Amino acid sequence: MADQPTKRAPKHRPETLAARALGWIDPSGAVVPPINPSTTYARAPDYTLIGGRSYSRDDSAAYLQPEALLAALEGGSGAMLFASGMAATAAAFQALNPGDHVVVQRDLYYGLPKWLSGWAEPWGVKPSFIPTGDIAALESAVRKDKTKLVWIETPANPSWAVTDIAAAAKIAHRAGARLAVDSTAATPVLTRPIGLGADIVMHSATKFLNGHSDVVAGALVAARDDDYWQRVRYVRQLGGAVLGPFESWLLLRGMRTLHLRVRQQSENALMIATRFRRHRKLKTVCYPGLPDSPGHAAAARQMHGGYGGMLSLRFKGGPKAVLKFAARLQVFVRATSLGGVESLVEHRGSVEGPDSTVPHDLLRVSVGVEHVDDLIADLDQAFAAI
């Protein structure tokens, strides 16, 4: 697991970078890196570190290859892995100072507003919440030189509302703030936020990046290596939300097939959304790939090669119809999370409880890589039963 020369072939396309995991070859000749579980590293008699590393919370060799690959795919200057998507998110806010103002979308991954009110606000971060996807609301919410971070998620869980990243970046930068984008649902296959002006990209790597529902991990990618990024590193080292070597290894393995998976998932999702968009038992299908969806114009500008594997169905019959429908599914698994190769459905209303801001008639669908005819047949028979 020696550090590799960083000379990478800049002309290689993202698919090639990912499939080859940047083409790193272990000194033994191994094409796949070994897993090194050591937490501690030996010193020579003169007390210098033999390999340059001391302790794996500070700096783990297991991160080098997956971080370099993710940074390359996102077009960032560097990436940092974390123990989870929430740990990565928390680090992005903890690198601010108490008193700093932040602007955050109201409807997005539910853990973020919860963590902000439960931890970050008492600590001193001052959030303003804006409607998801609303650029005019962002413009009036930012405060010149007071706002330090604008946090958007696009497409946003679970409405899959789209925010114009380039427009959000301009507004954030005019106010002197950084723009952070939770790009979990888009992945670098479909959207590269840094190229559109974002300063930080966040991934719940648990989802599409790993893609096999067997690792909890998170990542931040930075447009540039600056003081803020060094503070993020400090938060990871001393806050300690680090990823283990086995999880890092699985994540790299998963990322090698990212493009194949995300393209198939996007294609399946578009076919499902198109097929059921006018179903008589549905109010609407939320999917940015549908030409009449509210976010489609922005999505078409910033998503390339597909609109992602996530969609939501809203049922005319309300939560009762949703639960009856979900109960009948045989291919789709009733389970939380998303982005894996197997298709899942989730009724956020049941999971989040009565305080949930998610409409209770909504069923979130994570589309996998199964044959789309089997997925459509499963949905058809469940519709027939309600």
Ligand X SMILES: *Cc1c(COP(=O)(O)O)cnc(C)c1O
Closer to ligand X by Cβ: residue 182 or 361: 182
Pairwise CA distance, residues 282 & 170, whole Å: 37
Stretch that binds ligand X, among 2-10, 204-212, 233-241, 257-265 (CB under 6 A): 204-212
DSSP 67-131: HHHHHHHHT-SEEEEESSHHHHHHHHHHTS-TT-EEEEESSS-THHHHHIIIIIHHHT-EEEEE-
57 is catalytic: yes
**294 scored as a contact of ligand X (CB under 6 A):** no
The Cβ-side half-sphere exposure at 36, using a 13 Å CA radius, reads 17
**364 scored as a contact of ligand X (CB under 6 A):** no
Site string for ligand X, 158-197 (x = CB under 6 A): ------------------------x-xx------------
Answer for which of 93, 109, 276, 287 binds ligand X (CB under 6 A) is 109
**126 scored as a contact of ligand X (CB under 6 A):** no
110 is catalytic: no
Token pair, residue 95, equals 């690198």
191 touches 164 (CB < 8 A) = no
Answer for which of 18, 209, 216, 299 binds ligand X (CB under 6 A) is 216
Question: Which of 8, 20, 53, 57 is the catalytic position?
Answer: 57
328 is catalytic: no
**157 scored as a contact of ligand X (CB under 6 A):** yes
Contacts of 170 (CB under 8 A, 6+ apart): 197
Question: Which of 63, 109, 228, 287 is the catalytic position?
Answer: 109
Token pair, residue 373, equals 């005819």
Query: In the complex, what is the shortest distance from the CB of residue 206 to ligand X, in angstroms, rounded to a whole number?
Result: 4
Pairwise CA distance, residues 341 & 326, whole Å: 19
How does DSSP classify residue 55?
B
Answer for which of 105, 154, 204, 366 binds ligand X (CB under 6 A) is 204
Query: In the complex, what is the shortest distance from the CB of residue 220 to ligand X, in angstroms, rounded to a whole number?
Result: 12
Cα Rg for the chain, rounded, in angstroms? 21
Question: Which of 182, 199, 361, 378 is the catalytic position?
Answer: 182
Q: Report helix, strand or coil for 38.
A: coil
Answer for which of 148, 207, 259, 348 binds ligand X (CB under 6 A) is 207
Q: Looking at the chain, which runs of residues are DSSP E strands?
A: 78-82, 101-105, 126-130, 147-153, 178-182, 200-204, 218-222, 282-286, 310-315, 333-334, 344-346, 362-366
* Ranges within 39-98 binding ligand X (CB under 6 A): 84-86
User: What is Dmax (Cα atoms) for the chain?
Assistant: 77
Answer for which of 111, 294, 317, 318 binds ligand X (CB under 6 A) is 111
Question: Which of 126, 178, 207, 236 is the catalytic position?
Answer: 207
Closer to ligand X by Cβ: residue 17 or 200: 200
63 is catalytic: no
Percent helix, strand and coil across the chain, each to the nearest 5: 40, 15, 45
Q: Which residues are catalytic?
A: 57, 109, 182, 207
Binding positions for ligand X, rule: CB under 6 A:
84-86, 109, 111, 153, 157, 182, 184-185, 204, 206-207, 216, 218, 338
